[in-house]
Amino acid sequence: MVDIWPFCGTRPYNQDAKTLIAPSTDHLSIENIEIFRKNNYWNYLKILNPVGQLKEKDSLLEAKNHFKEMKKNNVIKKDEVLHFYIYQIQLGNHNQLGFLSLASIKDFEKKIIKPHEKIYESRKIERADQMMNLGTQIGPIYVSYPSENNIRDLLLSNINKPPSYDFESFDNSVHRLWCINDLNFIKELKSFLNNVKSFYIADGHHRMGAMEYISKKNPTNEKFMIAAFPSNESKIFDYNRVIKDLNGLSKDEFINILSNDFKILKKESAFKPSRKNEFGMYHEDQWYALEFLSSNISDSFIDSLDINILNNFCLTKILNIKDVNNDERIRFIAGCHGLDALEKKVNENPNSVAFSIFPSEITDVIRVADENLTMPPKSTWFDPKPLDGLVVYEFE
């Protein structure tokens, strides 16, 4: 059983939410983010990373001062009574309906709230420094839960009135938020969560690690903010790879070695995998379809994941990528950017090679988490995502 609590969120008050939220570098270039910052004086980008050097004291001070200034000028305002926040996100034909609430650090430690990625110490501490500087969690931890009809019906029955916020974000996703302080709604939502055994972290593993770290420093900070959506509405895109070079191999040598584990076919146009054990590859203006020869795989569930097949039988075995998370020869490109982004990156450096990957499935994510395993870095790209800065949680 998962416990949740309503809270007094801090949210846009005398300023359009669209101008306050923080764009992600995964969607926008650094240049476009700078333009966004300059065009919007009041913006959470100045708080999350004001000058790109978070650990410098001046940067932390600048972030804290900007947050204080936003509150002083009523750009943002903290709710005076406890709320749950119903949150709907729409991107094209995709809709997901969930809620914002608080959850317990203890439930994470007891593995009721389950991760599927490894948390790296340096990134966790950087996030924690950022949060402790403000006493605030700017962005929610995105979690998925097994679909529960009672919860969906309750949420649907409370969105027939106009939302408090309704706007299109920088990535063309539409975000709507209803602020609910009705005591019956609060009681019912908490009651229906009794049927949910676990939450699964979709995005925000290092925020989660940071909040656990903060809680250990100050046990009174025992809760954190989540954005919870049903798993059947959590959309996962592919997370593709570009490798800088062929590890000293010629094209023919590389393809010849690769053919030991993959059936390789040339394609006349960009190739996007349509099923598991299938990959696209782009090198020297040519697309290929790769089909993994499954007789070479072990019986291990984690080894059978497409992302590990590519890692084990190509990136590590042939291209000498030993540490996917830290090797400077590898770049990750979210599938929302399309295959054109892969072609562009490779065309800029003809010796490089790109791989398109079939998206991970939410059932795989849940199984990995349930079995207390971890997926490799950059295995899942959940999109659309809840926004940073729409509702923030001041824990001190």
Same domain, 211 and 93: yes
Question: Domain of 350: which CATH number?
Answer: 3.30.1760
Indicate if 163 and 266 belong to the same structural domain: no
Same domain as 179, residue 297? no
**pLDDT higher than 90, residue 248:** yes
DSSP helix/strand/coil, 298? coil
How many domains does one find in the chain? 2
pLDDT of residue 49: 66
As a whole number, mean pLDDT of residues 378-385 equals: 90
In this structure, the answer to whether residues 217 and 255 fall within a common structural domain is no
pLDDT, tens digit (0-9, with 9 covering 90-100), for 51-101: 444 445 678 888 999 999 999 999 999 999 999 999 999 999 999 999 999
Burial of 233 (0-12, 13-18, 19+ CB in 10 A): middle
Structural domain contains residue 365: no
Query: Does some domain include residue 376?
Result: no
Whether 368 is covered by a domain: the verdict is no
Same domain, 210 and 259: no
363 domain residue, yes or no: no
pLDDT at 32: 66
Instruction: Give 223's strand partners.
Output: 104
Residue 26 falls inside a structural domain: yes
State pLDDT tens for residues 134-177: 999 999 999 999 999 999 999 999 999 999 999 998 888 999 99
Residue with token string 């080894």: 303
**Same domain flag for 243 and 327:** yes
How does pLDDT run across 298-322, given as a tens digit for each residue? 778 899 999 999 999 999 999 999 8
Is there a single domain that holds both residue 222 and residue 261? no
Same domain membership, residue 193 and residue 70 = yes
| 342 alpha-carbon distance from chain centroid | 20
Greater confidence (325 vs 64) lies with: 64
Q: Give the pLDDT confidence score for residue 1 in this predicted structure.
A: 82
109 & 199 share domain: yes
Residue % of the chain over a pLDDT of 90: 76
Say yes or no: 196 and 271 in one domain.
Answer: no
pLDDT digits (tens, 9 = 90+) for 203-243: 999 999 999 999 999 999 999 999 999 999 999 999 999 99
Write out pLDDT tens, residues 366-377.
999 999 999 988
Structural domain boundaries enclosing 87: 4-236+382-394
Is the domain of 289 the same as that of 204? no
One domain for residues 328 and 194: no
Spatial distance between the Cα atoms of 50 and 39, rounded to a whole number of angstroms: 15
Percentage, residues of the chain above pLDDT 70 = 94
Element (H, E) at 188: helix 183-192
